[in-house]
A = this chain, B = another copy of it.
Amino acid sequence: MTQQAILDQVSTIFNDHLPFHRHLGLRVTRYDAEGVEVAIDMADHLIGNVHQQILHGGVTATLLDVTGGLTAFAGVVAREEAPSMALLEQKLPKLGTIDLRVDYLRPGRGSQFIATGTIIRTGNKVAVCRMELHNESGTHIAFGTGTYMVG
């Protein structure tokens, strides 16, 4: 099984089988060796401010955390010489966030929000990732830094 097939399977799980992702409307829109993108369309139920149409900070944190976890897991898959479906079953349940920092830069205004991530520290136990959230116009909304258990 190729790396991409494993990543596709993870995308399917995250998009179709995780209740909270469906409840919010977030979806993995890209997940391959070059990167991950997690997106959400602005919707009334995501608003966190009575006077302004601004994304709730909890949605921002969720998007960054999910993106960091996916980024960390892509690192796990990339480290394997011969990745197989067994890797998914063994390693995905071990994936967990140890800690997360979110830096809120600007109010979350826009019609769509896209989170991306890069791995900054890899290992067979722990990975550290940095994440960014932008809106559809490229406005930078938030930064994230997360430490993930991966094995």
Q: Which residues of A contact B (CB under 8 A)?
A: 13, 17-24, 44-51, 56-59, 61-63, 65-66, 93, 96-106, 120-121, 125-126, 128, 130, 140, 143, 145, 147, 149, 151
Q: Are A121 and B101 in contact (CB under 8 A)?
A: no
What would be 24 A-B contacts, judged by CB atoms less than 8 Å apart?
A: A13-B50, A18-B48, A18-B50, A19-B44, A19-B48, A20-B48, A23-B23, A23-B45, A56-B62, A57-B97, A57-B100, A58-B65, A97-B102, A98-B128, A99-B99, A99-B104, A99-B128, A99-B145, A100-B100, A100-B101, A100-B104, A103-B120, A103-B145, A126-B126
CB distance from A61 to the nearest CB of B (A): 4
List 8 tightest A-B contacts by C-beta distance, closest first.
A58-B62, A61-B61, A20-B56, A23-B45, A19-B47, A125-B125, A17-B50, A100-B102
Copies of this protein in the complex = 4
Chain B residue nearest to A96 in the complex (CB): B104
Provide the residues of chain B in CB contact with A57, threshold 8 Å.
62, 65, 97, 100
Provide the residues of chain B in CB contact with A100, threshold 8 Å.
57, 61, 100-102, 104
The one of B46, B104, B120 in contact with A105, judged by C-beta atoms closer than 8 angstroms, is B120
| Residue among A56, A58, A59, A65 having the largest count of chain B Cβ atoms under 10 Å | A58
Instruction: Using A101-B99, A120-B105 as known contacts, say yes or no to A46 and B19 having CB atoms under 8 A apart.
Output: yes
Q: Are A103 and B126 in contact (CB under 8 A)?
A: no
